[in-house]
Amino acid sequence: MPYSTLISGGQATKSVLFYNNARGKIGLVGFWDTVAFDEVGGLKVKDPDTIQIMKDFMANGRFSRGVEVIADASMAFVGNIDQSIEQIVNSTEYDLFLPLPPQFDLAVMDRFACYLPGWEMPKNSSSALTDRYGLITDYLAEAFHYQLKHSNRYEEVSKRVRLGRAVEGRDEKGIKKTLCAFLKILHPTDQPPTRSSRNTSPTQWNAAAASRNR
């Protein structure tokens, strides 16, 4: 997609990702809707400041590098798990965050809004192809960028969704962010039914809660 960029392994620096003080220019988070890290396990972060800036940005959408910078990019981390799924989900020794580099501590993981297991996604096959007209990814990227990126449903979700007392802090924020994403995709130009979001969209609600609960 023309509004996303992919970092494939290698070294991630604060100048490239966030802000270059020498040039006075913002990094990748200021130019792209999504900054994705492929093979995140091979990511090398030598400067501890990079992780701290990443934490601030993931929590608040802003960070300080001599000047305060506000950016809208999302971050996606893609990795492969070497162990079998059964071995991981039934084990106390392994966990779903094994592919992450060692510099990603619990504070970084706690800022993930959603964990999407690849093994639960349908595999690409010829049966998924259509013999009718379709939309190329460039067109879909434009639609997502202009129609979805520039709308904010967080206030709407906050007014309509009430979570239990056991859900608070970043758990609450992560669930609501995921619900916002579902609303943007399923109701891009209109409002969902007027009843409780939890009652009218149980599938989306459960998916949002599960993606954070992992």
**Total number of domains constituting the chain:** 2
Q: Are 75 and 32 in contact (CB under 8 A)?
A: no
Asked if residue 9 is part of any domain, the answer here is: yes
Give the pLDDT confidence score for residue 66 in this predicted structure.
Answer: 84
What φ, ψ does residue 179 adopt, rounded to 5°? -60, -40
Asked if residue 41 is part of any domain, the answer here is: yes
Q: Position 2: which residue type?
A: P
8 plus 94 within the same structural domain: yes
Asked if residue 20 is part of any domain, the answer here is: yes
What φ, ψ does residue 32 adopt, rounded to 5°? -120, 155
Give the pLDDT confidence score for residue 202 in this predicted structure.
Answer: 57
- Which is nearest to 114 in space by CA: 149, 76, 166? 76
pTM of the model: 0.82
Burial state string for 171-186 with b = 16 or more CB within 10 A and e = fewer than 16: bebbbbbbbbbbbbee
**Could you list the residue range(s) of the whole structural domain that residue 30 is in?**
4-112
At 115-142, the pLDDT tens digits run: 888 888 888 888 888 888 888 888 888 8
42 plus 107 within the same structural domain: yes
Give the pLDDT confidence score for residue 200 in this predicted structure.
Answer: 46
Asked if residue 106 is part of any domain, the answer here is: yes
Asked if residue 119 is part of any domain, the answer here is: no
Give the pLDDT confidence score for residue 214 in this predicted structure.
Answer: 59
DSSP one-letter string for the chain = -TTEEEEESSB--HHHHTEETTTTEE-GGGT-SEEEEETGGG-B---HHHHHHHHHHHHHSEEESSSEEE---EEEE-----S-HHHHHT-SS--TTTTS-TT--HHHHTT-S----GGGSPPP-GGG--SS----HHHHHHHIIIIITT---HHHHHHH----TT--HHHHHHHHHHHHHHHHHHSSSSPPPSS-HHHH-HHHHHHHHHHHH-
Per-residue pLDDT of the chain (214 residues; tens, 9 = 90+): 578 999 886 778 899 999 999 999 999 999 999 999 998 888 888 888 999 999 999 998 999 988 899 998 999 999 888 888 888 877 788 788 888 888 899 999 999 999 888 888 888 888 888 888 888 888 888 888 887 777 888 888 888 888 878 887 888 888 888 888 888 888 877 776 655 444 445 566 567 777 766 5
Domain boundary among 112, 134, 161: 112
Give the pLDDT confidence score for residue 213 in this predicted structure.
Answer: 67
- 122, β-bridge pairs: none
Give the pLDDT confidence score for residue 199 in this predicted structure.
Answer: 46
94 plus 145 within the same structural domain: no
